[in-house]
Structure 1
């Protein structure tokens, strides 16, 4: 982020509060019918017991691609990942569907899920790896917890639960809890999710999902460079940007500390937050809820039917809990305080 200067805090009173949405993640619910491998071209992880649902099986299923479902028994189950599950770029799509019962845990030691169309180790399929339509990654009805990308350096690191570069990403009815990435760095982020590049500059879609307890230098829930987002029916709580020194970092500091929940940097980027709740997040520098910088001032921020409250910014903000630098911001039927 090439920020020309720090703007002074401004206090703005904005309209009507909306109720906090449900996360959509149903623990203890009856499992949906598991699809046949032959019929869907996908994979079922497990054979009906918790013990049959292993990290190795998840890693292999993600590498194979297609629709991935789970048969781990009727109760909620946690699978501790011994390795990061990595998408192979020859897959047209990967749909990871936990059925509302499955948690994938990084155990506080590793990133959980990785897709990178510019990583030759995952097969380089085009000469324009940063702008290709596939793979399409969909994460739905699953809980991703205790992922940690600390020390990861590929494409700048970040993304404690999920790292994506290229292709397309969609997150539906999922929970992200206690994910981490490096504690300092001026433009590093994504305690839960880090995204670089999306096909044809299309937006990442997040629906009916929750992000809680993330910690990272910037963007303790979501972080991206040059990427737009459409977020609806989702909740962000207790995420903290813990870096120090902002971006570009002040002399004598390691940098970071912006975007307690959400951190967006780039040029023609657009963020839409609809029917969502962002409360109790914190930034050591700017934007306790949202940090948004469009370097060429063409980006837009839209907040509709949402509640943003109690998201302190220790350093700077343009609205309560928001640091915005772009073309326009539109706030309707929402509370921002």
Structure 2
């Protein structure tokens, strides 16, 4: 196990862009790499480089009409970010806790499609997600891409479990026009179900055996925006055996992020699990793959490759700049939270500002970043870092321990 920690000058926090009690990210200074030799497990090589959805009745066989009428389905192979390789990191061998494993979907609540590609439509997906429960797909024997014509939104009263299982043959595409999937327990348009929306145990959203491609949250400002493929605030999120390919969110903003996934709040500060999954080609102001505020993560046996933080000016934004540019793959900010990367590969990502691979700031210095049995390489930070490919402010003073 390798835990990373670097002492840096204490800096003041910037103001919040979403309603939270915690302070937000600091403006990091330009700090040269500390020169410590990377461990055998962390081999870094720096280089250059709104509207609500009406709740439908619970039913199975949520097939739509012809694809031209309800949102297209194309019988093409799902995008594979690693040239057809399996999801995740094939070399990863870290044990996966029971809570992080795939959900049994052998007895689904409802099914998208009735056995043909044409029956697997955007409308069918949107209805199924709003209805909740365990959702599988029956789109025929071949892989399909479902072109989403609207964002699928979780209704907070429907669940408490919402599971989407693509069976390894379904791609959900945002067509470069929209976010694909949305859960927000504090959004009144999706229904408030408790008096403490920011800390409730439901809905519990799991996505597994799916590809999320070409999602784009550009211009989405609810709770600060971000989350090109998936946006989650509240409840719980788990991602298993899934690909995220070429997703996008706004190119500028000091704290906006998550080209693939953006998460705010998780019940009782439990972690988001990302297991045996791959993220490639993502681009956003911050967090070219993953982004969060005050949220813990466990990224297990996964791969994050060729993602980019393209913003400029860091956080808070330097005068005359729009802000952003940190966390080529992962942007994690807040107070008391942790990030664990285990059995994973993070490579060829880059940040215009800080943390070509990972940007981690715990404002009160209680947060921890832990990297185990993982490889980080060729993740250039164009502006600043405290360790090759990483900007870290959190608990501990030792560069490697």
How far 1:13 sits from its partner (Å)?
1.7
- What is the aligned partner in structure 2 of residue 192 from structure 1? 260
CA displacement, residues 180-232 of structure 1 (integer Å, 9 cap, x when unaligned): 00000000000000000000001100000000000000001000001000010
CA displacement, residues 108-139 of structure 1 (integer Å, 9 cap, x when unaligned): 00000000000011010111000000000000
Structure with bigger strand share is 1
Determine if the alignment matches structure 1 residue 88 to structure 2 residue 111: no
Larger radius of gyration: 2
Give secondary structure in 1 for the equivalent of 2:189. helix
How far 1:14 sits from its partner (Å)?
1.9
TM-score normalized with structure 1 length: 0.92
How far 1:12 sits from its partner (Å)?
2.8
Give secondary structure in 2 for the equivalent of 1:89. coil
Contact 1:302 1:331 in 2 (8 A): no
CA distance in 1, matches of 2:133, 2:38: 44
TM-score normalized with structure 2 length: 0.77
CA distance in 1, matches of 2:130, 2:353: 39
Relative to structure 1, is the Cα distance of residues 51 and 184 closer, same or farther in structure 2, using a 3 angstrom cutoff? same
CA displacement, residues 57-104 of structure 1 (integer Å, 9 cap, x when unaligned): 000000000000001111110000000000000120100000000000
1:207-222 alignment runs, 5 A limit: 207-222=275-290
CA-based RMSD: 2.1
Give secondary structure in 2 for the equivalent of 1:142. strand
CA displacement, residues 225-260 of structure 1 (integer Å, 9 cap, x when unaligned): 010000100000110000000001100000000000
- What is the aligned partner in structure 2 of residue 51 from structure 1? 118
Give secondary structure in 2 for the equivalent of 1:99. strand
Instruction: Give the unaligned 5+ runs of structure 1.
Output: 26-32, 333-337
CA distance in 1, matches of 2:41, 2:235: 36
CA distance in 2, matches of 1:331, 1:81: 44
Contact 1:24 1:141 in 2 (8 A): no
Q: Report 1 or 2 for greater relative contact order, CA contacts < 8 Å, sequence distance ≥ 6.
A: 2
Relative to structure 1, is the Cα distance of residues 15 and 156 closer, same or farther in structure 2, using a 3 angstrom cutoff? same
CA distance in 2, matches of 1:180, 1:200: 29
Determine if the alignment matches structure 1 residue 14 to structure 2 residue 38: yes
Relative to structure 1, is the Cα distance of residues 4 and 250 closer, same or farther in structure 2, using a 3 angstrom cutoff? closer
- What is the aligned partner in structure 1 of residue 272 from structure 2? 204
CA distance in 2, matches of 1:5, 1:220: 18
Instruction: Give the unaligned 5+ runs of structure 2.
Output: 1-23, 44-81, 90-103
Aligned residues: 322
1:1-337 alignment runs, 5 A limit: 1-3=24-26, 5-10=28-33, 11-17=35-41, 22-23=86-87, 35=106, 40=108, 42-90=109-157, 91-328=159-396
Contact 1:106 1:161 in 2 (8 A): yes
Contact 2:41 2:372 in 1 (8 A): no
CA distance in 1, matches of 2:184, 2:239: 17
Relative to structure 1, is the Cα distance of residues 71 and 200 closer, same or farther in structure 2, using a 3 angstrom cutoff? same
CA distance in 2, matches of 1:330, 1:303: 12
